[in-house]
Amino acid sequence: MTEELTRDTVMARRFDLVEQIAIIAARHKAELAPLNEELGLCETFIRDTMNKGNEQSISIKGVGMAYFTTKSKCAVRDFDATLAEIQKHGLWSLLTKAVSKETVKEYIGIHNQPPPGVEYSEYRDLSWKRG
For 16-74, how does the pLDDT look when each residue is reduced to its tens digit (9 = 90+)? 999 999 999 999 999 999 999 999 999 999 999 999 999 999 999 999 999 999 999 99
Same domain membership, residue 84 and residue 52: no
Domain end, chosen from 48, 67, 86, is at: 67
Structurally, the chain folds into a number of domains equal to 2
The residue range of the domain holding 57 is 7-67
Same domain membership, residue 116 and residue 81: yes
Q: Are 86 and 93 in contact (CB under 8 A)?
A: no
The C-alpha atoms of residue 35 and residue 31 are separated, in whole angstroms, by 8
The C-alpha atoms of residue 105 and residue 96 are separated, in whole angstroms, by 20
User: Residue 25: inside a domain, yes or no?
Assistant: yes
Domain end, chosen from 23, 50, 67, is at: 67
pLDDT at 1: 58
Same domain membership, residue 48 and residue 15: yes
DSSP 8-class letter at 60: E
User: Residue 125: inside a domain, yes or no?
Assistant: no
Same domain membership, residue 76 and residue 58: no
Q: Which amino acid is at 96?
A: T
